[in-house]
Chains A and B, each alone.
Chain A
Amino acid sequence: MKKPNIWAWFILVIGLIYFFLPLFSVFEFSLRMIKGTYSFEAYRVAFTDPAFFSHFGYSLLWALLTISVSLLLVVPTAYWVHWRLPRVRPVIEFITLMPFVVPAVVLTFGLIRLYAQPPILLIGSPVLLIAGYVVLSFPYMFRAVDTGLRAMDVRTLTEAALSMGAGWGTILAKVIFPNLRVAILSGIFLTFAIVMGEFTFASLLSWPAFGPYMEEIGAMRAYTPQAMAVISFLLTWASIGLFQWIGRGAPGQEQVAGAH
C-alpha cells in the first residue's frame, strides 16, 4: 500500500489518456484552419466575429444576473434557517436538490407551458431563463453557503453580536458575511462555470447565449467552433480551478454534478 503500485499507475495512465485525448484532438483540429499548417487562424476568426462577443456578452450578463438573484435568495435564507428555523433546513436542502429530480429540459417544458400563455406571459423577458439558471445553481450555492454556515456556529455568533448591541445590518455585514466569503465565492465560481456554457435553457427558451451560439456555428462552419470549445474548456478550468483553490482545506466542499 505504501509503495506505488503498477496497477494503480496503469489505471491512472488509461484515465489520463481518456481525459486528455479529446481535449488534444479538439485543440489540434482547431489549429488546422489553414491547410497544411498549424495556425491560430480559427481563434483569430472567432475573436473577430462580432457575434462571438455579443453572445459571450449575453452569457456574461445571464451569469451575473443569475449569481445576484441566487445569492440574494440563498444566503439570507440559509442564514435565517441556521439561526431561527433549524427544523426547516432539511426541507430547504431537499428543494435545492430538486434540479436533479427535474432535469433542465423538463423544467423548461413546464415553465413554457405555464408561463408562455395567458394569463401569465413571461416569455418576452428573460425572467424564465434567469429563474431556470437560479434553480440550476441552487444545489451548488446552497451547499457551499450551508457548509460555510455550519462551520461557524451561526447561533452563538449571532447571539454574541446581539448581546453586544449590534443591529441586524451590522451582524450580517461584519460578522456573518466575512466568515462566509470563501463559501460564497465558491458558489459564485461554480454558478459562473455552469451558466457560461449552458445550452438547454438558452436554446429552448430562445435567448442568445454562448452555448447555443457555439452549437449554431458548429452546424455551419468548421474550425472556429472547435476553437470556441477550447476557449470554453479553459473557462471551465479557470472557474472550477479557482473554486477548488479557494475552497481548499475547507471541509465538505466536494461538489455534486448537475444535469448536462
Chain B
Amino acid sequence: MGNNPVLEEKILTKRESKKGSAQPARSPRFDFNWAWLGVAPFFLFALAFLFLPSFSIVVRSFQGVDGSFTFKNIIAILTESDIINAYQASLSISVITAIGGGFFGFLLAYAVILGGMPRGMRTFMVTFSGVASNFAGVPLAFAFIATMGNAGLITRWIEAIFEINVRQMGFSIYTIWGLSIVYMYFQFPLMVLIMAPALDGLRREWREACENLGGSAWQYWRYVAFPILLPSILGTMILLFGNAFGAYATAYAFSGSFINLVTILIGAQIQGDVLYNPGLGNALALGMIIIMSVCMFGYAYMQRKTSRWVR
C-alpha cells in the first residue's frame, strides 16, 4: 500500500531526464528535489531530538571518562552486580507482566468478543481498555498504594477479617510481584485493545468450513483459530514486554528506589551521580535500546506473519 508504482516511475524518469539535459521547460510539479524538501522539517526534527541523542548514547558507551575508546563500560554492565540485578529485575517484571497480561488480556478479549456478551458491554470494555492502558504513572501508583499499601483498602479488609497484621508478617507489596500487579493494570487492557480486532478477524466461514469437514469445536480452536491468532498473541506479548521494560514513572512513584529497575538506575544517573561514571549510564541505556530493538523486530515479524494471513 505504501508503494505507488506510478509515482515511483514518474520520479525515476524525472531523475534520468535531469541527468540527460537541463531542460528549462520541465514542470515544477514533478521536480524531485522539491518533493524531498517537503519532508525535511520532519527528518531534521527526528535527527536532532531522536537519532542524535540515541546515537550519542551508543558512541559514549564506548568512551571512558577522558573520552578515549574503551570496552570498560560494556564489561561493567555485564559484570557489576548492581547492574546485573537491575537488568534481572527489569527482565523478570517484563516477562511476568507480558505473560500474565497477555494471558488474562486474551481471556478478557475472548469473553467480550466471542462470549456472547451484549454489544454495549463490548464497546464499554474497549473504551475502558483505551483509558486503562493510558492510565499509568503517578496516579496509577497512588491508586494501588491506596488499594494494597500499608493503609490500603484490601490490607485493611484482610486485617479486619483475619485479625492479623500483614505488615508484621514481613509481607510487602514493594517487590517485583507487587509492582507486577500494578503494571498489569496497563498491560492487559493493551492486550484487550489489540486482541479484540484480531478476534473479530476470525472469519465465520473458517469455523463453518471446519464444522463442514467434520471438525469439533475443540478441533477448530486447536487447528484453525489458535494457530491463526498465535502470531498476534506472541507479537502483542512482545509489545507488552517492551512496554513494561521501558516503564519508569509508575515504578518510581510506586516504590521509589526500592526496586532497582534499569530505568530507575538511568533516572538516578540523570538526577545525580550514583555511579560516578557517565559512560556507565550510557552503556546502561545502550542495553535498553538493544533489548527494545529486538522487541520491535520481533513484533514487526509477527505482524507481518499475521497480515499475510488475515486481510
What residues of chain A have their CB less than 8 Å away from a CB belonging to chain B?
1-5, 7-9, 11-12, 15, 18-19, 21-26, 28-30, 73-74, 76-77, 80-81, 84-90, 92-93, 95, 97-98, 100-114, 128, 131-132, 134-135, 150, 155, 190, 193-194, 197-200, 203-204, 211, 214-215, 218, 225-226, 228-230, 232-233, 236-237, 240-241, 243-244, 254-260
Contacts and interface: CB of A to CB of B under 8 A. Distances in A.
Given A86-B4, A199-B249, A105 B282 contact: no
A219 B68 CA distance: 42
A77 B296 CA distance: 24
B229 to A, nearest CB: 16
Interface stretch (B71-79, B105-113, B170-178): B105-113
Contacts of A81: 38-39
A233 B8 CA distance: 47
Contacts of A28: 146, 153
Between A8, A90, A228, the greatest number of chain B beta carbons within 10 A of the residue's beta carbon is seen for A8
A240 B54 contact: no
Interface stretch (B16-24, B81-89, B127-135): B127-135
Contacts of B136: 197, 260
A1 B269 CA distance: 54
Contacts of B95: none
A25 B50 contact: no
Given A26-B147, A193-B134, 19 more contacts: A7-B111, A8-B114, A9-B111, A25-B152, A74-B42, A87-B4, A87-B11, A95-B46, A102-B50, A103-B248, A109-B270, A110-B54, A200-B249, A240-B130, A244-B130, A255-B193, A257-B239, A260-B137, A260-B243
A214 to B, nearest CB: 5
A26 to B, nearest CB: 4
Interface string B251-272: 0110000000001001101110
A200 B248 CA distance: 7
Given A21-B147, A197-B137, A260 B247 contact: yes
Contacts of B246: 100, 103-106, 259-260
B224 interface: no
Contact of A215 (B104, B153, B239, B253): B253
Contacts of B1: 150
Nearest to B34: A84
Contacts of A131: 45, 48-49
Interface in B189-212: 189-190, 193-194, 196-197
A193 B293 CA distance: 26
A233 to B, nearest CB: 6
B56 A113 contact: yes
Between A89, A98, A102, the greatest number of chain B beta carbons within 10 A of the residue's beta carbon is seen for A102
B134 A236 contact: yes
Contacts of A100: 239, 242-243, 246, 292, 295-296
